[in-house]
Amino acid sequence: MMTEASFTEVFNLYYPKVYHHFLKRTRSAAVAREVAQLSFIKLWEFRHTLKDTISLDTQLFHIAAGVFIDHLRREEVRRRKVVEHGEERALEEAAPDGVFEASDHLLSLTRSLSPVRKRVFLLSRIQGHSYKEIAELLSISLKTVEDHMTKALRHIRGLY
């Protein structure tokens, strides 16, 4: 069983390794610090489940990997919410005074598009991203972006 004194010793010994491991992976000191701290919190919370037959180093990095995956999942959910809410906000902000009705109409036209096609369209036409940037942002090929834009424009024109 790990005592507070032994935990402090483990923390002082392994924190720099865990921190630098995540700093290399994330290139963000704040994220690396947060994930490292959460890893040690989880180590303390689950200290009673540690196994004597497995090295502490291995168990700690296993815990840290799980914490990092949880962090990435939370960030992805947060990013998706921002993108979804940001698309409607971007339409509203892109419309100059007196043209809000037009952007509202455009928003209603894009609602009938598939989620990915809608994102591609809004990233291109509202936020001004190039097709190449959109492909990188959404981790899809340039040809797929072109295809989505062609079909989105064809769909919107067909609604007129």
Q: What is the tens place of the pLDDT at every residue in 6-37? A: 889 999 999 999 999 988 888 888 889 999 99
In a domain, 86, yes or no: no
Same domain (yes/no): 114, 154: yes
Q: Is the pTM of this model over 0.75?
A: no
The answer to whether 110 and 122 have CB atoms below 8 angstroms apart is: yes
Q: What pLDDT sits at residue 129?
A: 86
Same domain (yes/no): 14, 61: yes
Q: CB within 8 A of 144, min separation 6: which ones?
A: 135
3 state SS of 27? coil
Same domain (yes/no): 102, 67: no
In a domain, 85, yes or no: no
Segments forming the whole domain that contains residue 19: 4-78
Q: What is the tens place of the pLDDT at every residue in 83-136? A: 666 555 555 555 444 444 445 556 667 778 888 898 888 888 777 889 999 998
Q: What is the tens place of the pLDDT at every residue in 128-149? A: 889 999 998 888 999 999 999 9
- Structural domain count, the chain: 2
C-alpha Rg value of the chain to the nearest Å = 23
In a domain, 90, yes or no: no
Q: Of the residues 78, 106, 138, which one is the last residue of a structural domain?
A: 78
The answer to whether 41 and 15 have CB atoms below 8 angstroms apart is: no
Same domain (yes/no): 152, 121: yes
Same domain (yes/no): 71, 137: no
